[in-house]
Chains A and B, each alone.
Chain A
Amino acid sequence: MEPLLRMDDVHTHIGQYHILQGVSFEARAGEVGVLLGRNGAGKTTTLKTILGLTPASGGRVSFGGTDVTKKRTHAISRSGIGYVPEDQGIFSTLTVEENMKVAMTRETEETRKKLDTVLELFPDLKTFWKKDGGHLSGGQKQMLAMARAFVGNSKLLLIDEPSKGLAPIIIEKVMEAIQEMKQHTTIVLVEQNFMMASRIGDTYTLIDDGRTVQSGRMADLAGNDELKRKYLGIG
């Protein structure tokens, strides 16, 4: 079966820097694919390149069978990709409600249904519906960012280090929520915490120095101590 998302030998330049130098990667519908790699490896840039925020300078990105390499960000997003950035990208002076509404400008039956689902999943958001996004706690911001990406009719969610800077008990909740969202959508996750990654990931792709060095089923990586030591500094 054709994967939902596919990157073929993608290169990305930011200014004069050659950041991605050959990233290849696939995400299959219904699965959670995890991008692994040390700090500065190019994981965030990979997600931004998928979205066209830092457009690819070479190679090919296709989504749902269509080439999106040269498309603009809003068009890529509308074709069904939701994004939860590393810094969460909350509009801090807008309320929780307004944050959600920006993602629902084309409100349909389906987005309304998704809103219900997501409010069930994150009841905190309902409690703070009229509160400014900037006043939420770190965990709540993460929930809001995920909810916002989810309602926008997304077939694929790109989530960048959702556990970053959160307390273990909150991380647990975030991971549960991702498991829950997995029932509805495909997910590509950047996650440094290997325990978490191996728990919810179906596949992994290991990126180092802007290149894909290895990918496969998550279960195989768990047993490969050499790979983990070499590229992740663990094991």
Chain B
Amino acid sequence: MDLFVNLLVNGLATGMLIFLLASGLTLIFGLMDVLNFAHGGLFAWGAFASVWFYTATGSFFGAIAGAILTGIILGLITEKLIITPVYGNHIQQILITLGFMLVLTEMLKVVFGPNQLAAATPEWLNGSWVFGDIIIIKYRIFIIAVGIAVFTVIQFILRRTKIGLIVRAGVINKEMVQALGIDIKRLFLFVFIAGAALAALGGALFAPYSGVIYAEMGLEFAILAFIVVVIGGMGSFPGSLLAAILVGLAGSFMAYYVPALSLAVNMLLMAAVLIFRPQGLFTAKG
């Protein structure tokens, strides 16, 4: 029981971190067919920014806010400088965003030094709750709670606001929303920046979770996030949550029970989805 709960909590927490990356990716792809391989770089920048702001402000909320601000600024720069020139060309997008991912990673080393950094958990989130023989680490529950809150807020925006309605319509048919008078480029910039902010938030939450951060950390999560986007259905926001939880849990349980398969399991999941339901678990287009 103890073990099961731990694996479950661990898997859910990892799933939420992946979700924070994947939700942005899926909307970016759904809206403009843009493949952004630099997204993991924003995750890493969020982590480093949070550590820096934590030291500077002494407040965990300061750290989170600083990371999100960093994500917003980097998102704005990335969209304007890197993505805009390569709209509509997937090969160019892959090349230029992969290249920019390397640039972001190297810039981290320039700014913060080449070594990995330690990241502290704030006092009030340190430690664990004990229920009988079950021990639950507080910080992991915190990550899950933030993930659920983010999902709820974004789902509210998508379902209940004008801009959310336009985003959903744009994912279904972007020519049509333009023909109805909507400036798709502005809309996309907005979504891209929101996605970048979420990625940075993910990185900031990851820092205390792992305890150490390093410049290349974004890559592994970005790959998982791409797998999640494929499994969940490109452009589907609820799909990205479900698939992220699935991938998080599969990773957590497999790492314990069948360690040899823990890396392959996500690929297998993705392959299975592509074979039996190539549009992903959820469909957003159509």
Contact = CB atoms under 8 A, between A and B. Distances in A.
A42 interface: no
Given A74-B184, A98-B165, A92 B172 contact: yes
Nearest to B176: A89
Given A74-B184, A105-B162, A134-B286, A91 B179 contact: no
Contacts, number: 68
B175 A53 contact: yes
Contacts of B176: 85, 89, 91
Interface in A50-100: 51, 53, 72-75, 77-78, 83, 85, 89, 91-94, 98-99
B182 interface: yes
Contact of A83 (B179, B184, B286): B179
Contacts of A72: 178, 183
A141 interface: no
A72 B178 CA distance: 9
A102 to B, nearest CB: 5
Contacts of A102: 165-166, 169, 177, 180, 182
B232 to A, nearest CB: 15
A227 interface: no
B12 interface: no
A126 interface: no
B173 A89 contact: yes
A103 interface: yes
A37 B173 CA distance: 27
Interface residues of A, number: 25
Contacts of A85: 175-176, 179
A211 interface: no
Nearest to A54: B175
Interface residues of B, number: 19
Contacts of B172: 91-94
B179 A77 contact: yes
Interface string B138-164: 000000000000000000000000100
Interface in A122-165: 134, 148, 152
B281 to A, nearest CB: 15
Contact of A94 (B168, B178, B181, B184): B168
A77 B175 CA distance: 12
A130 to B, nearest CB: 14
Contacts of B162: 101, 105
A55 B69 CA distance: 37
A72 B182 CA distance: 10
Given A92-B286, A94-B172, A152 B181 contact: yes
B135 to A, nearest CB: 43
Contacts of B166: 102, 105
A72 B176 CA distance: 13
B193 interface: no
Contact of A74 (B165, B173, B178, B284): B178
A105 B181 contact: yes
Contacts of A101: 162, 165
A101 B182 CA distance: 12
B181 to A, nearest CB: 4
A103 B180 contact: yes
A152 B182 CA distance: 11
Given A74-B184, A89-B173, A94 B179 contact: no
A131 B37 CA distance: 38
B286 A93 contact: yes
Interface string A20-53: 0000000000000000000000000000000101
Contacts of A106: 181
Contacts of B284: 93
13 contacts: A72-B183, A73-B178, A73-B179, A77-B181, A85-B179, A89-B176, A93-B172, A93-B284, A98-B168, A101-B165, A102-B166, A105-B180, A148-B180
Pick the 7 closest A-B CB pairs, nearest first. A89-B176, A73-B178, A77-B181, A83-B179, A78-B181, A74-B183, A102-B169
